[in-house]
Amino acid sequence: MTDTPTAPADGRGLRDRIAAELERTRARTTLLTEAVDDGELMRQHSPLMSPLVWDLAHVGNQEELWLVRDVGGREPVRCDIDELYDAFKQPRRDRPALPLLPPAEARAYLATVRDKVYDLLDRIAFDNRRLVADGFAFGMIVQHEQQHDETMLATHQLRSGPAALHAPPPPEPATRAAGEVLVPAGPFVMGTDTDPWALDNERPAHRVDLPAYLIDAAPVTNGAYREFIADGGYDEPRWWSGPGWRHRQEAGLSAPMHWRRDGDGWAYRRFGRWTAVRDDEPVVHVCFHEAQAYAAWAGRRLPTEAEWEKAARWDPATGRSRRYPWGDDEPTAAHANLGQRHLWPAPVGAYPAGASPLGVHQLVGDVWEWTSTTFRGYPGFAAFPYREYSEVFFGAEYQVLRGGSFGTDRAACRGTFRNWDYPVRRQIFSGFRCARDADAEQAHP
Ligand code: AVJ
Ligand code: FE
């Protein structure tokens, strides 16, 4: 059993592809940081987030560290600012007080670094040094910038004041996506050895044997979640874990973040505008504890990370694990709600072309999905190229999320991609789906 083979790209094709990805990514960063004025860029909109201008220069600094200095062996552009933009040396809450580069200086710094990277890209030989083979370091930097673009989008969602971002609404449902799907018992390949831009925590590929289970055909919707609220779910300790209930009490949780009562119903503030909560959209801005409590109330549970990945990648016809639910092809606008094309989740049933062979919808895009698994290395994990990307976060403190949201770029998500966060966090674009064990009859039809 192997995972998806990927054809090696030749030098020219790879160079062009990297240049295109760098450019596309920078256009997104530019849009997110030109949508508001300098005051808004410098301000901290939530203690959970950096000022946007910190993310901006941090993106340039990582690009300088890995591509200009490490891969390129060039002289530093600015070594005086490394400390300021080191996420481990500067806790988020302290970042607004730092002597940060003002927006114009940050933009000039990014442009200087990027010019050097294009120069490097023109000359580099993609030999088999691990950092440069298949353009890995460039892919890592593209993904890093895209990850910060999603973080900056979450910061925009936390801003008060009038809307600064605009996008067309997501597509309407084209099919029914409801109920559960049975995933039969048996082994599948989890993780990857062959995806050239997969990050260290997605490796190595390994066999996982799972008993049969049922998983929701679509993420849990606002309509379903409203029933949990209406049934008093937030006031019933028996649905919550011990730590979940403590957090619910301390934080005073009573509905997803950004919701407020509106007559008999609910409204949801997204990017500066209040809109009625739409029942057929996946619920977003819930923490792991809320997801877990909902699942208990519904007589279900959250899927494990392996269950999520098998539902997303396993092809029953061949037994092979594919890159995405729909196959190995890169996501297009028909497959999934990704890339900030739309600013909220699409109603369930909006992406029939993105469903898995077993009929599981919207696994990729729309909302990150909480799983019941804590973040650990796979058997045989080796940190690469730095421990601070993944390894320092391994342990029971972080829950894994899968699939990517409407705010995630296609370069930074795939069937193997792993995200993680604290179980109390909900400023990210997080939702969930439920699962349960198959009963004996369903498991052996
Ligand atoms: C993978 C999203 C948890 O934002 O903390 C950005 C990505 N790592 N810069 C994060 C990341 C370093 C990371 N997450
Ligand atoms: Fe970073």
The answer for residues whose C-beta is within 8 angstroms of residue 418's C-beta and 6 or more apart is 199, 201, 202, 305, 375, 400, 402
The answer for residues whose C-beta is within 8 angstroms of residue 72's C-beta and 6 or more apart is 116, 117, 120, 124
Cβ of 144 less than 6 Å from ligand 1: yes
Cα dihedral sign, 361-363-367-373: positive
The ligand 1 atom at the shortest distance from the C-alpha of residue 420 is 3
Which residue CA neighbors atom 7 of ligand 1 most closely? 147
Rounded to the nearest integer, the mean pLDDT of the chain is 96
List % helix, strand, coil for the chain (3-state, nearest 5): 35, 15, 50
pLDDT number for residue 3 = 56
Check pLDDT > 50 for residue 154.
Answer: yes
Q: Where in the chain is the domain with CATH 1.20.120.450?
A: 11-158
- DSSP label of 240: S
The kind and range of the H/E element at 292 are: helix 288-297
The ligand 1 atom at the shortest distance from the C-alpha of residue 151 is 4
Check pLDDT > 70 for residue 421.
Answer: yes
Cβ of 390 less than 6 Å from ligand 1: no
Rounded CA separation 335/338 (Å): 9
Give me the amino acid identity at 96: P
pLDDT number for residue 131 = 96
Residues of the chain with pLDDT > 90, as a percent, come to: 94
Starting from the CA of residue 412, give the closest ligand. Answer: 1
Task: Give the full edge-to-edge strand order of the sheet including 419-421.
Answer: 419-421, 399-402, 368-374, 430-431
Q: What does R_g of the chain's alpha carbons equal in angstroms?
A: 22
Phi, psi of 437 (to 5 degrees): -65, 145
Average pLDDT (216-240) is 98
Query: What's the pLDDT band for 136 if we cut at 50, 70, 90?
Result: very high
pLDDT number for residue 10 = 62
Average pLDDT (8-20) is 84
Annotated binding site for gamma-L-glutamyl-L-cysteine: 92-95, 421, 425
CATH architecture of 11-158: Up-down Bundle (1.20)
Interval between CA 442 and ligand 2 midpoint (Å) = 45
Query: What's the pLDDT band for 8 if we cut at 50, 70, 90?
Result: very low
Say if residues 373 and 306 touch (Cβ distance below 8 Å): yes
Starting from the CA of residue 401, give the closest ligand. Answer: 1
- Residue 337, CB-side half-sphere exposure with 13 Å CA sphere: 30
Check pLDDT > 80 for residue 416.
Answer: yes
Rounded CA separation 328/322 (Å): 6
Residue 401 corresponds to which tokens in the numbers above? 């999320």
Average pLDDT (379-402) is 98
Interval between CA 204 and ligand 1 midpoint (Å) = 20
Q: Is the pTM of this model over 0.95?
A: yes
- Please state the CATH superfamily assignment of the domain spanning residues 169-445 in this structure: paralog of FGE (formylglycine-generating enzyme) (3.90.1580.10)
pLDDT digits (tens, 9 = 90+) for 352-378: 999 999 999 999 999 999 999 999 999
- DSSP label of 384: -
Q: Which of 408, 210, 200 is nearest to 311 (CA)?
A: 210
Interval between CA 206 and ligand 1 midpoint (Å) = 24
Q: Which of 414, 355, 322 is nearest to 217 (CA)?
A: 355
pLDDT digits (tens, 9 = 90+) for 286-299: 999 999 999 999 99
Cβ of 419 less than 6 Å from ligand 1: yes
Cβ of 420 less than 6 Å from ligand 1: yes
Which residue CA neighbors atom 8 of ligand 1 most closely? 389
Cβ of 151 less than 6 Å from ligand 1: yes
**Rounded (10°) angle between helices 52-63 and 103-123:** 20
Cβ of 136 less than 6 Å from ligand 1: no
Residue 145 corresponds to which tokens in the numbers above? 């910038």
Strand partners, 3: 321
Average pLDDT (70-88) is 95
Annotated binding site: 58, 92-95, 144, 148, 421, 425
Query: What's the pLDDT band for 444 if we cut at 50, 70, 90?
Result: low
Check pLDDT > 60 for residue 9.
Answer: no
Rounded CA separation 307/262 (Å): 37
Interval between CA 145 and ligand 2 midpoint (Å) = 8
Query: What's the pLDDT band for 5 if we cut at 50, 70, 90?
Result: very low
Cβ of 147 less than 6 Å from ligand 1: yes
Say if residues 32 and 413 touch (Cβ distance below 8 Å): no
Q: Where in the chain is the domain with CATH 3.90.1580.10?
A: 169-445
**Ligand 1 test: best mutation among 25, 95, 147, most atoms within 8 Å of CB?**
147
The ligand 1 atom at the shortest distance from the C-alpha of residue 148 is 6
Interval between CA 267 and ligand 2 midpoint (Å) = 33
Average pLDDT (133-147) is 98
